[in-house]
A = this chain, B = another copy of it.
């Protein structure tokens, strides 16, 4: 228990991670470095400084990571049209590798030999943090207090606070919620509470980032998104930075009741869990990206991407962002995006994201071939006969053997 000298903690400024600061010092007799990141979760991060200082922390890192988060993690993931289990846009999953990287970089800068986090032993986040940490610093010591301590009830935590003079007003800054939540620029998530019964509908007051479709405006909003190499670079014709793209789409999406999701998902640790998510901007981006690909991407490239996507999504969900296999898939995906350029026009209306137009100088849609009108010889319909005949040949040979008639 005592060979840890200094530990870098992913510190939110909330009650739980404040308890962890104390507990680490007490349990490991070690120095604690706190790291607090602005990933667009919608809360100020600067107040974490005073809180950490009050807990006796001397090395305090507070950083705005929104730009790198969207540019280097969210955007590459969206190039793959990534969805986990047909529904989930991986809002929590994609933030973890960046946090893991900064924890390790700070450990290297400060000479720390360990990292710590506030994720429980039942969830995916512990895996994502720790796989990232081990991949980037193989000999790092990882401390996961929730797997070690016995403070496994709210009551015990409160007693610990009292005994250790941790100001409980820490908790009051955050509106008390019956849900376990996580937020960043890509989404906000809700778990626990009444959601633990999959038959129970989520309460309207749970949702924080979007209005309900019912409450959304009766007038649709139209928006043009410009892509370069598969990433959004402009909104309504105006060049926009990656994190500003996502902020803006969250805003306009949330206003139009877009991006709510209520699912039961399969965790990497082997259980099913109910989760609710709001991903307004991501929901818009996914639809738009598929639309721009629909006119600019080769058919077989698109189909190959679709076949690779479930595995790519699983890797990110399970915490393997830093793995060599994720990098292999990324290389294939990125290779396909060079011509994914152009503009998509969307109509946003009461929960719906409707594609109404797409155009591109790199379009492979050739109206002169596809037309129902006279195509002036661009396509010779007689070619189809040979195409079908040879594609059918193996089936015909098999059929002659009486094979295919069951």
Q: Mark A residues whose CB is within 8 Å of B.
A: 81, 85-87, 120-122, 126-127, 130-131, 134-139, 144, 146-147, 152-153, 180, 191-192, 196-202, 213-214, 218, 220, 260, 262-266, 269-274, 290-291, 294-295, 298-307, 310-311, 314, 320, 322-325, 327-329, 331-336, 339, 345, 347, 349-352, 354-359, 362-367, 369-372, 374-375, 379-401, 403-405
Contact = CB atoms under 8 A, between A and B. Distances in A.
A349 B213 contact: yes
Nearest to A298: B324
Contacts of A144: 384-385
Nearest to A393: B270
Contacts of A146: 381
B350 A396 contact: no
A324 B274 CA distance: 22
A27 B168 CA distance: 47
B355 A352 contact: no
A157 to B, nearest CB: 13
Contacts of A200: 357
A397 B324 contact: no
Nearest to A258: B352
A364 B270 contact: no
Nearest to A304: B325
A362 B365 CA distance: 44
Contact of A385 (B302, B324, B386): B386
Contacts of A388: 126-127, 130-131, 134
Nearest to A372: B192
Contact of A401 (B85, B147, B349, B364): B364
Contact of A386 (B218, B290, B383): B383
A392 B358 contact: no
A147 B331 contact: no
A336 B328 contact: yes
Contact of A381 (B122, B354, B393, B403): B122
B325 A298 contact: yes
B324 A153 contact: no
Nearest to A191: B372
A393 B271 contact: yes
B138 A397 contact: yes
A398 B352 contact: no
Given A298-B325, A324-B300, A324-B336, A266 B86 contact: no
Contact of A290 (B87, B260, B303, B383): B87
A311 B322 contact: no
A367 B199 CA distance: 12
Contacts of A355: 262-263
A354 B397 contact: no
B290 A127 contact: no
A224 to B, nearest CB: 11
A201 B357 contact: yes
17 contacts: A85-B294, A85-B306, A122-B381, A135-B392, A152-B374, A214-B220, A264-B295, A270-B393, A272-B370, A298-B323, A298-B398, A300-B394, A322-B395, A322-B404, A331-B334, A380-B386, A383-B389
A22 to B, nearest CB: 20
6 closest A-B pairs by CB: A386-B386, A121-B381, A270-B393, A266-B299, A383-B386, A138-B396
Contacts of A127: 384, 387-388, 391
Nearest to A192: B372
A46 to B, nearest CB: 29
Contact of A362 (B201, B380, B392, B401): B401
Contact of A397 (B366, B371, B372, B386): B366
A360 B87 CA distance: 20
A314 B299 CA distance: 11
